[in-house]
Amino acid sequence: MAYFDCDKIQYEGPSSKNPLSFKHYNPEELVGGKSMKDHLRFGAAYWHVMRNDLSDPFGAGTAQMPWDDGSTSVENALNRVDVFFEFLDKTGIDFYCWHDRDIAPELNDLKASSAALDQVVAKLKTRQAETGVKLLWGTSCLFSHPRYSQGAATSPDASVYAYAGAQVKKALECTKELDGLGYTFWGGREGYASLLNTDMKRELDHLAAFLHMAVDHARKIGFSGQFYIEPKPREPSTHQYDSDAAACLNFLREYGLLEHFKLNLETNHATLAGHTMQHEMRVATAAGALGSVDANTGDELIGWDTDQFPTDIYLCTEIMLEILDMGGLTTGGLNFDAKRRRESHEPIDLIHAHVGGMDAFARGLKIAHAIRQDGRLAQFVAERYSSFDGDLGSKIEAGQCSFEELEAHSLAGGEPALASGRQEMLENLVNEFI
Ligand code: XUL
Ligand code: CO
């Protein structure tokens, strides 16, 4: 039974008027000697594609899901797997991500929930083998169930902490079973609403111990995938410990975890933190810790995590510039952690949404590649810092300079003649390529 009313989406080129075609994403087309497919490594989020009913705080779900009987049965969960793979086949998306409780039901009993998970994982494994689809990363839902209302790895209750550990243990084992390329920790409710009832230092210590246990368990079971932390500053907690890339890197360094973790950055989380996505990516790359991307966007006029599909060509260009600059994605991908608007309730809207995101990123890739080939932007930046290539600058960069030498240089050289930053000229240059 097919649920998405279309054939497999084909590349038809920029002049096509068919909304269910790729105008720019041509999977095998080479950009700089590498296929678009390998550059972009698109992933689909099981939670949005299969489980998001498009409800919001003011109203019920609108999404039509004719395949779903609304029950928490394992049978229903198994049925969803086939629908999801129909979706992946039609969009040509090669990777996917899940939370344990998206793919299998929470049965309010650890043993029963884990047994249900095993059944669904077995089916996912079969479907992966049949199709070549890969699991980009798995994660554990440690934020929906009321037991986690005060946090999971930062809960004040050691029994809740233990339950969360048991859940991650199992999710890690399932990720390994599915040859997952990574495992993500998003903060969920790891944060606080009030300091009146919170021992922050203790919670941070507990979180670090939890992540160390995850690393240890991965080693024990032979899981060699990449661990990620996904920063987000607020929502659901007022204050999230993993608030942005810099905060995560500091936490990972402080607790000796940086060698085991990279960052999975999400655009809407960056903007909630008061940053651009490009800023967050640059912070991560500077630390050698950019791992993967949750590809979405927020809404300039709405102050929460709207998880919209990325359609902005500037945004996709900036993201692809950062990815190309770091030498490309390795374990990570561009996971569409994005949902349709509540008004786009038909199954086919899922296809429209992903096709649009894929095409926007394909354009971003081609434009970013062209900007890099052109070389003027990089050359400008290199020249802007070229005074640090001289004798004094090299000494500074090598950590071999003193304030006495800086003073001597300034006394001899007088007032420095500053060059223009030329921001507007560079913005115009980028526009040449858009
Ligand atoms: C929440 C979010 C999550 C993570 C996985 O804002 O982005 O879906 O990506 O837990
Ligand atoms: Co995300």
Segments making up each domain of the chain, as ranges: 30-374, 378-433
Distance CA(148)–CA(163), nearest Å, equals 9
Which protein residue's CA is at the shortest distance from atom 5 of ligand 1?
186
Ligand 1 mean position, distance from CA 337 (Å): 7
* Residue whose C-alpha is closest to residue 124's, from 73, 161, 77, 58: 77
Q: Does residue 292 have its Cβ closer than 6 Å to ligand 1?
A: no
Q: Which residues are CB-contacts of 51 (< 8 A; sequence separation ≥ 6)?
A: 102
Cα 96 from Cα 139, distance rounded (Å): 12
What is the CA angle 8-350-360, rounded to 5? Answer: 80
Side chain identity, residue 136: L
Tell whether pTM > 0.85. Answer: yes
What region does 414 belong to: left with phi over 0, alpha with psi -120 to 50, or beta? left
**Domain made up of 30-374: CATH architecture:** Alpha-Beta Barrel (3.20)
For ligand 1, atom 7, name the residue with the nearest CA. Answer: 337
Query: Would you state the pLDDT for residue 212?
Result: 99
Active-site annotation, residues: 99, 102
Ligand 1 close to Cβ of residue 102 (< 6 A): no
Q: Is the CB of 139 under 6 A from ligand 1?
A: yes
Helices (H), 3-43: 36-40
Predicted pLDDT of residue 384: 98
For a mutational test of ligand 1's pocket, the pick from 46, 51, 52, 186, i.e. the residue with the most ligand atoms closer than 8 A to its C-beta, is 186
Other C-beta atoms lying within 10 Å of the C-beta of residue 61: 13
Atom of ligand 1 nearest to the CA of 186: 10
Which residues does the chain have with pLDDT short of 70? none
Residue whose structure tokens are 């932390």: 229
pLDDT at residue 303, rounded to an integer: 86
Q: State the DSSP H helix or E strand holding residue 277, giving kind and residue range, or none if neither.
A: helix 277-286
Q: Spell out the alpha helix ranges (H) of 337-432.
A: 347-374, 376-384, 391-397, 403-413, 423-431
Using DSSP, state whether 163 is helix, strand or coil.
Answer: helix
140 lines ligand 1 (CB under 6 A): no
Q: Which of 72, 174, 92, 102 is nearest to 133 (CA)?
A: 92
Q: What is the CA radius of gyration of the chain?
A: 23
- Classify residue 270 by burial, with Cβ atoms within 10 Å: 0-12, 13-18, 19+: buried
Q: Which of 237, 240, 266 to mutate for ligand 1's pocket (most ligand atoms within 8 Å of CB)?
A: 266
Q: Whose CA is nearest to atom 3 of ligand 1?
A: 186
Residue 337 CB less than 6 A away from ligand 1: yes
Which ligand 1 atom sits closest to the C-alpha of 143? 10
pLDDT at position 320 is: 99
- What is the structure's pLDDT at 198? 98
Give 273-280 contacts, CB < 8 A, sequence gap 24+: 273/231, 273/232, 273/233, 273/243, 273/244, 274/233, 275/244, 275/245, 276/318, 277/315, 277/318, 277/319, 278/318, 278/319, 278/321, 278/322, 280/231, 280/244, 280/245
